[in-house]
Amino acid sequence: MKNIVIFGAPGSGKGTQSDLLVEKYGFKHISTGDVLRAEIKNETELGKTAKQFIDNGQLVPDSLIIDILAATYDALGQCEGVIFDGFPRTIPQAEALKAMLAERGTAVSAMLELQVPTEMLVERLVNRGKTSGRADDNEETIRKRLDVYESQTSPLISWYETEGLRNAVKGYGTLQEINDALCAIIDKL
Ligand code: AMP
């Protein structure tokens, strides 16, 4: 079973490419953003707490997200592989993921990093905001999320490099070109 981390800034195309990989390989997809948005919709206690962070462009505290991640992973059951989308976003989360998978006798197989220039990210997210209905897809919050990515999430690039798991891919061009580049890496795992 493969455990693949799809990594990149907000708007880098992680969700779109995850859907294509799910279709091609039959993997299951865990998007922590989707999990949190479902909690908000269902008005759970967790959702109420998470909403304050999300609407403000900040990360939800590690302790909250790590617990949900483990529960979501265990609920998937047997499958060909899992794509982690939007998780990990901090070094403590990457360490927790490593430990959680080790406890289950498995490990991250690869980290796939989608590289997209910042101004292209802003443009994509502003456009997405016109139809996504997401409260955090407005220019002010988008810029905050990108700052949070730079300060808290991008250090994971060298963390995964040190683990020998990092694979960088050009995250712009056609969807097919990007997908082909990701599949070429996955096919070698
Ligand atoms: P996303 O859909 O991945 O862009 O996530 C939307 C928002 O959910 C983020 O801006 C964070 O506030 C929150 N979130 C999603 N995943 C995580 C995570 N792994 N750690 C902390 N916060 C997260």
Q: Supply the residue whose CA is at minimum distance from atom 2 of ligand 1.
A: 33
Q: Report CA torsion sign: 65, 77, 104, 26.
A: negative
Q: What is the distance between the terminal CA atoms of the chain, rounded to a whole angstrom?
A: 10
How many beta carbons lie within 10 A of that of residue 175, not counting itself?
A: 11
pLDDT score, position 78: 87
Q: Which residues pair with 28 in a beta bridge?
A: 82
- Which tokens hold the place of 40? 């908000």
> What residue ranges of the chain have pLDDT lower than 70?
none
pLDDT score, position 101: 97
pTM passes above 0.85:
yes
- Residue 17 and residue 6: Cα distance in Å, rounded? 9
- 166 near 157, Cβ under 8 Å? yes
pLDDT score, position 55: 96
Domain 2-182 homologous superfamily, CATH: P-loop containing nucleotide triphosphate hydrolases (3.40.50.300)
pLDDT score, position 65: 97
69: CB partners within 8 A, 6+ apart: 30, 32, 87, 93, 96, 97, 100
Q: Report CA torsion sign: 165, 101, 147, 145.
A: positive
Q: Is the CB of 53 under 6 A from ligand 1?
A: yes
In degrees, rounded to 5, the angle at the alpha carbon of residue 8 between the alpha carbons of residues 53 and 114 is 160
117: CB partners within 8 A, 6+ apart: 172
Residue 166 among the catalytic residues: no
All structural domains of the chain with their residue ranges: 2-182
Catalytic entry in 28, 37, 124, 145: 145
Residue 37 among the catalytic residues: no
pLDDT score, position 77: 87
Distance 143 CA to ligand 1 centre (A): 14
- Residue 95 and residue 67: Cα distance in Å, rounded? 13
